[in-house]
Amino acid sequence: MADNTPPRTRAEVLQTELLPLRAKALEIAAGLDRLDRADGQSVDDQLQQLRQALAVLLEDAPNRAERVQLIFSRQYDPAWRQQLEVVAGR
């Protein structure tokens, strides 16, 4: 994978990102509180996806954004053409 990241230290990146990330963490916390206060049944599958995504954020591993995207994605089946009866290209 290419690395075109400019030479900024972790401290410099954190200095830039801290307030925006803090604000986003608060938005998530407040959104979950809002969900708790609401009446009625929650949509369990969607909530489960959200919980999985939040767990990824705390992992000490790269490519968190890609992994979160995949949690919210329908699965790809390489045999889709047979299932949909779509003939192959030329």
Partner 1 sequence: MDYFDPHIHMVSRTTDDYETLAKMGCVAMSEPAFWAGFDRGTVDGFRDYFEQLTAFEPTRAAQYGIQHYTWLCINAKEAENVELSREVIAMIPEFLDRPGVLGIGEIGLNKNTRNEAIVFLEHLDLAMKTNEQILIHTPHLEDKHQGTRMILDMLTGDARIDRSRVLVDHVEEHTVRPVLEAGFWAGMTLYPVTKCTPARAADIVEMHGPERLLVNSAGDWGPSKPTAVPDFILEMRRRGHPESLIRRVVYDNPRQFFSQSRGFVFNERS
Q: How far apart are CA 10 and CA 16, in angstroms?
A: 10
Binding of partner 1 by 70 (CB under 8 A): yes
Binding of partner 1 by 84 (CB under 8 A): yes
Which of 18, 21, 42, 75: binder of partner 1 (CB under 8 A)? 75
Which of 6, 10, 34, 59: binder of partner 1 (CB under 8 A)? 6
Q: How far apart are CA 47 and CA 55, in angstroms?
A: 12
Binding of partner 1 by 86 (CB under 8 A): yes
